[in-house]
Amino acid sequence: MSTIQVTDISGLRGRVSLPGDKSISHRAVMISSIAEGKSSVSNLLDGLDCRATIDAFSNMGIVITQGSDKAYTIEGKGLRGLTEPRSDLYLGNSGTTMRLLLGMLAGSGFRAVLCGDDSLSKRPMKRVTSPLRLMGAKIEGGDDGNLAPLIINPGRLGPIEYDSPVASAQVKSAILLAGLYADGTTKVTEPYRSRDHTERMLRLFGADVTQERLSASVRGLDDSNLTSQRIVVPGDISSAAFFITLGIMADDSEIILTSCGINPTRTGILTVVERMGADVELTNQNNGFEPYADIVIKSSSLKATKVTEDEVPLLIDEIPLIALLGTAAEGTTVIEGCGELRVKETDRVNSIVTNLKAMGADIESEGDSIIIKGPCRLKGASAESFGDHRTAMMMVIAGSVAEGTTTVNDTECIATSFPDFMDTLRCLIP
């Protein structure tokens, strides 16, 4: 078990080149694989989760070649070009891979078994398998299709109009990807807006996708195919959020994050920190199929805020950091509607409250809400990652602005999404 020790740091300066966006990287590999021809994907995230996606499609007959500087060539075989995997598709800890693959393989015409590590095997999949079964998918698994391993058998899909009980880009994406194999138009409506990376990328590759308020629709492709593309994956704003938080909380600091994705369905973290009074500026903005910009962050004094349930899908991965920022803010910060965090790699509500309380924070959870009273001076402590990459990195940042030394235990999980996290942090320290 690896550990990381950090102490209070200040005077941070530098430019940070971020790893490729994890959500976009997954989708780039998946959709390139079912497009016709060779796609080029640059700045694809080289983390364990995305490696699980690459390995899965390699197992289904797709040739994926890594070149220099995180650039990949993916030789797509068209909508029905995937072949039955040679072995079970082991997806490690990647919930995104499992849920999106369930949709993509539901209409593939062959048998596949999807499995993962102990953590992934406990995560709820019925939110995906239930609507897919409504489309005609034949999926078996533990607890009536809720728990991996999951077996997908050949089935003929039909379109549906589905009102999702949760705002989840993974659920929405699984249904839309299955909709490519259905004869007609498949529509998903959510209670709140979630990430739209799948819709954007499907449209880029030539799919007939429409979006209207809280709904997204896709028309089945029949005998036509998606067309290969050249993609540059922008920097991951969920990875950027750790350094946004650090730049705000560390004394006498100014950090520039380059070419970071600013998709409007992902920038909830920017909205919240600006509302708290943070000095954050976007420069060099560029609009492509996924917009990006440089983000300049300076040390700031903060005031408390309230994050409402409808905002949570736009910053679901950044909630631990908002809780950390709340410890430095004047007043009571409330984060509502955090129930989805309880079914991540770990119960993140528990990991946030447990770790920050050990550092002296005045923080509690009430149902699906987190309440933080600030400001308070955090003190170094021993922290647990609970096997969760975002918890581990959040506690490294907390330790970097706390008094004394903080030890974060079980940090191998950081490689899931940000293998160079510590090297990036060290480059900013004077």
What per-residue confidence (pLDDT) applies to 164? 97
Of 198, 232, 266, the one marking the end of a domain is 232
Place of tokens 């920097």: 235
Per DSSP, what are the bridge partners of residue 364? Answer: 371
Could you give the CA distance from residue 152 to residue 190 in angstroms, rounded to a whole number?
Answer: 25
Spatial separation of the C-alpha atoms in residues 231 and 386, rounded to whole Å: 34
| pLDDT reported for residue 1 | 65
Would you say residue 70 has pLDDT above 90? no
3-class DSSP state for residue 158? coil
Check whether residue 241 and residue 180 sit in a common domain. no
First and final C-alpha spacing in the chain = 29
Distance CA(244)–CA(299), nearest Å, equals 10
Q: Determine the pLDDT at residue 345.
A: 74
- Of 89, 117, 113, nearest in space to 33 by CA: 89
- Distances 282 to 56, 255, 274, 286 between C-alpha atoms, Å: 37, 12, 12, 11
Rg (CA), the chain: 21
Size (the chain), residues: 430
What is the C-alpha to C-alpha distance for residues 79 and 68, in angstroms, rounded to an integer? 28
- pLDDT above 90: percentage of residues in the chain: 93
- Indicate whether 52 and 163 sit together in one domain: yes
Q: What is the pLDDT of residues 356-382, one digit of tens each?
A: 999 999 999 998 999 999 999 999 999
Alpha-carbon 70 to chain mean position: 19
DSSP string, 201-214: HHHHHT--EEEETT
Fill in the amino acid letter for 162: Y
* pLDDT tens digits for range 303-328: 999 999 999 989 999 999 999 999 99
**312 and 334 in contact (C-beta within 8 Å)?**
no
Do 76 and 116 share a domain, yes or no? yes
Strand partners, 382: 407
- The mean predicted confidence, pLDDT, of the chain is 96
Q: Are residues 61 and 7 in the same domain?
A: no
Q: Looking at 204, 232, 260, which one is the last position of a domain?
A: 232
Do residues 300 and 261 both lie within one domain? yes
How far is residue 92 from each of residues 52, 121, 170, 207, measured CA to CA in Å?
Answer: 6, 9, 17, 30
pLDDT (tens digit per residue) in 218-228: 999 987 889 99
Rounded mean pLDDT of 66-88?
93
Report whether pLDDT(43) > 70: yes
Domain boundary among 232, 264, 285: 232
Region 279-299: mean pLDDT is: 96
Q: CATH number for the domain including 134?
A: 3.65.10.10
Q: Which pLDDT score is estimated for 216?
A: 98
Same domain, 193 and 252: no
Catalytic entry in 196, 294, 317, 388: 317
Residue with tokens 């509690």: 364
Whether 362 is catalytic is no
282 and 134 share one domain:
no
102 and 248 in a single domain? The answer is no
State the average pLDDT over residues 204-230. 94
With contact defined as beta carbons under 8 Å apart, do 143 and 118 qualify? no
pTM of the model: 0.92
| Residues 208 and 243 occupy one common structural domain | no
Task: Say if residue 343's pLDDT is above 80.
Answer: no
Here the tokens at position 127 are: 């939110």
Q: Give the count of domains, the chain.
A: 2
- Tens-digit pLDDT profile for residues 93-126: 999 999 999 999 999 899 999 999 999 999 999 9
H/E element, 212: strand 209-212
Q: Domain range spanning residue 70?
A: 22-232
Clarify whether residues 406 and 365 are in a common domain.
yes
Looking at the structure, tell me whether residues 168 and 267 fall in a common domain: no
Cα–Cα distances (Å) from 134 to 14, 95, 157, 331, 353, in that order, read 51, 21, 9, 47, 38
Rounded-to-integer distance, Cα 330 and Cα 376, Å: 9
Between CA 335 and CA 322 the distance in angstroms is 8
Same domain (yes/no): 301, 226: no
Amino acid, res. 252: D
pLDDT given for residue 276 in this prediction: 98
Complete DSSP assignment for 216-239: EEEE--TT--EE--EEEPPB-HHH
DSSP label at residue 122: G
> What would the pLDDT profile of 239-256 be if each residue is shown by its tens digit?
999 999 999 999 999 999
Mean pLDDT across 123-141: 97
Q: What's the rounded Cα separation, in Å, for the pair 225 and 235?
A: 29
Distance separating alpha carbons of residues 246 and 324, to the nearest angstrom? 10
